Chain A
Amino acid sequence: MTDLKAPVTVPGIVGARSGAGSVLGRISIPIAIVVLVVIGAVTSPSFLTPSNLLNVLNANSTVGLIALGMTFVAVCGGLADLSVPANVAMGGLIALGAQPAVGAVPAAILGLVVATLGGVVNGVLVGYLRINPIIATLGTGSVLLGLSQLVIGGGIVYGSPSAIADFVSGSALGVPIFIWIFVIVALILQPVLSRTAFGRWNLAVGGNYAAAAASAVPVRFTKGMAFVLTGFLSGLCGVLLALSNGQARPIIGTGYEFVAITAVVIGGSSLFGGRGSIIRTVGGVLITALIGNLIILIGFPTQATGLITGAIVLAAVGVDAYFRRKAGRE
């Protein structure tokens, strides 16, 4: 009897895989990161320098924010939010465009609010009206992006120097503010997904929607909120980019949805819902960042980045689908 009561520490994230599979699932991300770092150190002397590593992290922390939100979308069975580029653009354009009228800080907040509202629209369409998330967010994305292009034209919006712009472009303790923001948001969202009732609801809704509904889980609210969160974080990404660049255009977030999805999937959260964690996505962000950096350092043409990350995403989704099917059969 005593052996049955032995402490078992496997969290729900590894789903139906066997004991050996779950250990593998937990150590594979650290191993991949170590391998990438070793490859980098061997192939390029400039790789393992503080300035290169900080640069890599800095460049990936804004899109990393979106990946954190996208984790909730994936876990709750919402597949993916394709309206990310539009919400990034909205956040950035408003943060700069509204500066003359209201001042720098209120403009930044306004940018966040508008992008969050974009997320609310997605949340209502997907959560409450139960429209397929891919279709719904593709639609809202092109409406919002089209709207911003219509207003701005092909042009660029410039910001004026401000204290908040200086702050977000700066560093603290030798580490860029962007990285600090990513780390803080990740530290907040990790327990939100793994240790709050809302997080549990996300896992339940993604794991079995009908059963979650029958268990008095607010399924529509949960699914909707995942999109609101992603809208907010997309806006934050856009505001930060615009402030630090001093300019913004409608295309600033192009491709960010895919980078975010890549990080989520590589981290091992399931795009089909029910399984995932923030810590995994942070690992996924690091891996995609390192791969991108290595491609440049090794001297591959940067145009190959899409090819390589695309192939990795397909492989990761394939492995996930394989394990799901296997688990389903047993």
Chain B
Amino acid sequence: MSETTPASALRMTGISKSFPGVKALQDVNLEVRQGEVHAIVGENGAGKSTLMKILSGFYQPDEGEIEVAGEPVGHWTPREAQKRGIGMIYQELNLVPDLTVAENISLGVMPKRGPFVDYKQVTAIAKRVLEELDADIDPGTRLGNLSISQQQLVEIAKVVAKRPSIVVLDEPTSSLGDKETRILFDVIGRMRASGIAIIYISHRLQEVMEIGDRVTVLRDGRHIETRDVAGITPEQMVRLMVGRDLSEMFPKLDLELGEPVLTVNNITRVGQFEDITLEVRANEIVGLAGLVGSGRTEVARAIFGLDPVDSGEIRVKGKLVKIGTPRQGVAAGIALVPEDRKAQGIIPALSVRENFTLPVITRITNALLVLARRERGIVNGLVDRLKVNPPQIERPLNVFSGGNQQKVVLGKWLLSEPTVLILDEPTRGVDVGAKADIHEIIGEFAKAGGGVLMISSELPELLAVCDRIFVLHEGNLVAEIPRARADEESVMRAATGQVAA
């Protein structure tokens, strides 16, 4: 034995947890060693957050045992978890912008002299911890004056100041740029070197490859595999996460294009976009690309009738239509899946059933009442077709994962049987499996003769799915790129205003 295995910092054995109607975790094992970065990957709803909430004491497991540093834990509460050295760093920062860096670091555990806060001590603690993390931040600065990545360092310092033995980072890079991510990785490396066990949760598999020592894959609340990162590729990870191959994810159907279904002629909304002319044909998926703020969302909203246009005309199947409200948009055969699912897509407290039928509810009534059986029949059919999971149509929509919510939003518009389907970021914040399902649904819609206008910030998605891409820049349509000539470079050049042609 020339090399001893490092001691186990955490062992969770046989963890199971159910919520009413859902088995969130079934017999999950997790073992994390001192001084390793242990990545946990899985789709949304795979059970990562539930597992972490159990680790941090917010949930009690139905079954299973937790050992910290080789000792089984007793009554497990958030306070107890903190005492035993478990520190949590979430996506959202839990900091007070108007306090200083030092005050934030000691928040909740302020050292005191008599009844008063011992500010000398507060500053000393902050200085020491920031030095350890090699962070060049003045403890006396007001937190709100720092950049986001610096604030995140303060958040880490706040956790490290409590001398944790295990640190959980939940999607820590989601709001960081490349450079800031580098800095974060340096800090994680230093924590690892000092013997802290790190649990790293991320959707970004490249990061897992780069920083992880071992990776645990969860799927549908079960433990699938734990492996050394050195022996696995991102493709293999995805296959373990979704249970199928990545190549099946962007299937592009080759369809004969039909007659124009949506014709937009010179529409203008003053201050937002100008003189936009575009066309979508039957069986066609057309992309609308552009940077954030280029006016792409505004164009989509106007075509659907959420915002009025100042001039220009819209034709559906060649027929001039007047669209001033979403009701008129729906009547004309247009549907819009909005960008912000939480704000504009779902009614959280209403059930899956009620959300599905909302735009077409007047079509499922007799003279007075909603036809309950017919409504349930329609919705059950959609739930099967769209693979909404769990298929419980009476549960409020807010208890479903983001991917399932998005399927419901998409499905409610399919139910209105539109001629033109406009999609604004249809797969944002959606996990890999649901993403593939959503692409399949969109493909089927086009195959059945519909026209699709799709906005996405994810260029690979647009390039894979679209027959044609229109590019907007500062409210103007600057390019129309056919599939054959579309690549990341040509689209980006147009989107940033460097039009070649």
Query: Bound complex: CA of A241 vs CA of B325, how far in Å?
Result: 43
A43 CB to nearest chain B CB (Å):
39
The digit string for A273-286, where 1 denotes a CB below 8 A from any CB of B, is 01100000000000
- In the complex, the answer to whether B398 meets A12 with C-beta atoms within 8 Å is no
What are the residues of chain B within 8 A of A9 when measuring CB–CB?
A: 394
Chain B 297-353 interface residues, beta-carbon cutoff 8 Å to A: 306, 325-327, 329-330, 336, 338, 343-351
What are the residues of chain A within 8 A of B365 when measuring CB–CB?
A: 196-197
- In the complex, the answer to whether B344 meets A210 with C-beta atoms within 8 Å is yes
B109 within 8 A of A: no
Q: Is the interface of B mostly helix, strand, loop or mixed?
A: mixed
Which residue in chain B gives the minimum CB-CB distance to A205? B347
User: Out of B348, B368, B395, which one reaches A207, CB within 8 Å?
Assistant: B348
Query: Bound complex: CA of A214 vs CA of B381, how far in Å?
Result: 24
Query: Bound complex: CA of A210 vs CA of B359, how far in Å?
Result: 13
- In the complex, the answer to whether B361 meets A4 with C-beta atoms within 8 Å is no
Can you list 28 A-B contacts (CB < 8 A)?
A4-B21, A10-B394, A11-B394, A12-B350, A12-B351, A19-B20, A20-B20, A191-B368, A196-B365, A197-B365, A200-B354, A200-B357, A200-B361, A204-B347, A208-B343, A208-B348, A210-B344, A211-B343, A211-B344, A211-B347, A214-B344, A215-B326, A216-B327, A216-B330, A217-B359, A218-B327, A275-B349, A330-B399
A212 within 8 A of B: yes
Chain B residues with a Cβ closer than 8 Å to the other chain, count? 42
Known pairs A203-B349, A215-B412. 19 more at Cβ < 8 A?
A4-B21, A10-B394, A10-B395, A12-B349, A16-B349, A200-B357, A200-B358, A204-B347, A207-B348, A207-B350, A211-B345, A211-B347, A214-B344, A214-B345, A215-B359, A216-B358, A217-B358, A218-B327, A274-B350
What are the residues of chain A within 8 A of B20 when measuring CB–CB?
A: 18-20
What are the residues of chain B within 8 A of A213 when measuring CB–CB?
A: 306, 326, 344
A15 within 8 A of B: yes
A325 within 8 A of B: no
B4 CB to nearest chain A CB (Å):
43
Query: Bound complex: CA of A309 vs CA of B210, how far in Å?
Result: 63
Chain A 203-236 interface residues, beta-carbon cutoff 8 Å to B: 203-204, 207-208, 210-218
A327 within 8 A of B: yes
Which residue in chain A gives the minimum CB-CB distance to B365? A197
Which residue in chain B gives the minimum CB-CB distance to A203? B350
What are the residues of chain A within 8 A of B358 when measuring CB–CB?
A: 200, 204, 212, 215-217
With A191-B369, A196-B365, A204-B350 known as contacts, the answer to whether A216 contacts B359 (CB < 8 A) is yes
Which of B346, B369, B399: most chain A Cβ within 10 A?
A: B369
- In the complex, the answer to whether A208 meets B370 with C-beta atoms within 8 Å is no
With A12-B396, A214-B326 known as contacts, the answer to whether A274 contacts B347 (CB < 8 A) is yes
- In the complex, the answer to whether B21 meets A327 with C-beta atoms within 8 Å is no
B362 within 8 A of A: yes
What are the residues of chain B within 8 A of A307 when measuring CB–CB?
A: none
With A9-B394, A216-B329 known as contacts, the answer to whether A207 contacts B347 (CB < 8 A) is yes
User: Which residues of A approach B to under 8 Å, CB–CB?
Assistant: 4-5, 8-12, 15-16, 18-20, 191, 195-197, 200-201, 203-204, 207-208, 210-218, 274-275, 327, 330
- In the complex, the answer to whether B398 meets A208 with C-beta atoms within 8 Å is no
User: Out of A8, A12, A216, which one reaches B392, CB within 8 Å?
Assistant: A8
B390 within 8 A of A: yes
- In the complex, the answer to whether B346 meets A211 with C-beta atoms within 8 Å is yes
A184 CB to nearest chain B CB (Å):
16
What are the residues of chain A within 8 A of B346 when measuring CB–CB?
A: 208, 211
B164 within 8 A of A: no
What are the residues of chain B within 8 A of A207 when measuring CB–CB?
A: 347-350
Q: Is the interface of A mostly helix, strand, loop or mixed?
A: helix
What are the residues of chain B within 8 A of A210 when measuring CB–CB?
A: 343-344
A49 CB to nearest chain B CB (Å):
39
What are the residues of chain A within 8 A of B344 when measuring CB–CB?
A: 210-211, 213-214
B372 within 8 A of A: yes
What are the residues of chain B within 8 A of A12 when measuring CB–CB?
A: 349-351, 354, 396
B391 within 8 A of A: yes
- In the complex, the answer to whether B354 meets A274 with C-beta atoms within 8 Å is no
- In the complex, the answer to whether B338 meets A196 with C-beta atoms within 8 Å is no
Which of A11, A12, A211: most chain B Cβ within 10 A?
A: A211
A3 CB to nearest chain B CB (Å):
9
- In the complex, the answer to whether A212 meets B347 with C-beta atoms within 8 Å is yes
- In the complex, the answer to whether A5 meets B391 with C-beta atoms within 8 Å is yes
- In the complex, the answer to whether A19 meets B21 with C-beta atoms within 8 Å is yes
What are the residues of chain A within 8 A of B345 when measuring CB–CB?
A: 211, 214
- In the complex, the answer to whether B362 meets A16 with C-beta atoms within 8 Å is no
User: Out of B343, B370, B393, which one reaches A195, CB within 8 Å?
Assistant: B370
A55 CB to nearest chain B CB (Å):
35
What are the residues of chain A within 8 A of B343 when measuring CB–CB?
A: 208, 210-211
B260 CB to nearest chain A CB (Å):
24
Query: Bound complex: CA of A233 vs CA of B346, how far in Å?
Result: 32
B302 CB to nearest chain A CB (Å):
13
A223 CB to nearest chain B CB (Å):
15
User: Out of A8, A196, A200, A211, which one reaches B368, CB within 8 Å?
Assistant: A196
With A4-B391, A197-B370, A214-B344 known as contacts, the answer to whether A274 contacts B359 (CB < 8 A) is no
A135 CB to nearest chain B CB (Å):
25
Query: Bound complex: CA of A203 vs CA of B353, how far in Å?
Result: 13
- In the complex, the answer to whether B326 meets A216 with C-beta atoms within 8 Å is yes
A25 CB to nearest chain B CB (Å):
13
B350 CB to nearest chain A CB (Å):
5
What are the residues of chain B within 8 A of A327 when measuring CB–CB?
A: 349, 398
Query: Bound complex: CA of A197 vs CA of B367, how far in Å?
Result: 10
What are the residues of chain A within 8 A of B354 when measuring CB–CB?
A: 12, 200, 203-204
What are the residues of chain B within 8 A of A212 when measuring CB–CB?
A: 347, 358
Query: Bound complex: CA of A20 vs CA of B19, how far in Å?
Result: 11
What are the residues of chain B within 8 A of A275 when measuring CB–CB?
A: 349
Which residue in chain A gives the minimum CB-CB distance to B343? A210
What are the residues of chain B within 8 A of A200 when measuring CB–CB?
A: 354, 357-358, 361, 370
- In the complex, the answer to whether A16 meets B348 with C-beta atoms within 8 Å is yes
With A204-B350, A212-B347, A212-B358 known as contacts, the answer to whether A16 contacts B399 (CB < 8 A) is yes
- In the complex, the answer to whether A16 meets B369 with C-beta atoms within 8 Å is no
What are the residues of chain B within 8 A of A330 when measuring CB–CB?
A: 399
Which residue in chain A gives the minimum CB-CB distance to B357? A200
Which residue in chain B gives the minimum CB-CB distance to A8? B394
What are the residues of chain B within 8 A of A216 when measuring CB–CB?
A: 325-327, 329-330, 358-359, 416
What are the residues of chain A within 8 A of B361 when measuring CB–CB?
A: 197, 200-201
User: Out of B330, B349, B351, B416, which one reaches A274, CB within 8 Å?
Assistant: B349
- In the complex, the answer to whether B370 meets A196 with C-beta atoms within 8 Å is yes
What are the residues of chain A within 8 A of B325 when measuring CB–CB?
A: 216
A27 CB to nearest chain B CB (Å):
17
Query: Bound complex: CA of A196 vs CA of B361, how far in Å?
Result: 9
What are the residues of chain A within 8 A of B306 when measuring CB–CB?
A: 213-214
Query: Bound complex: CA of A211 vs CA of B350, how far in Å?
Result: 12
Query: Bound complex: CA of A208 vs CA of B358, how far in Å?
Result: 12
- In the complex, the answer to whether A8 meets B347 with C-beta atoms within 8 Å is no
What are the residues of chain A within 8 A of B393 when measuring CB–CB?
A: 8
B60 CB to nearest chain A CB (Å):
15
Query: Bound complex: CA of A327 vs CA of B329, how far in Å?
Result: 33
What are the residues of chain B within 8 A of A218 when measuring CB–CB?
A: 327
What are the residues of chain A within 8 A of B395 when measuring CB–CB?
A: 8, 10
What are the residues of chain A within 8 A of B349 when measuring CB–CB?
A: 12, 15-16, 203, 207, 274-275, 327
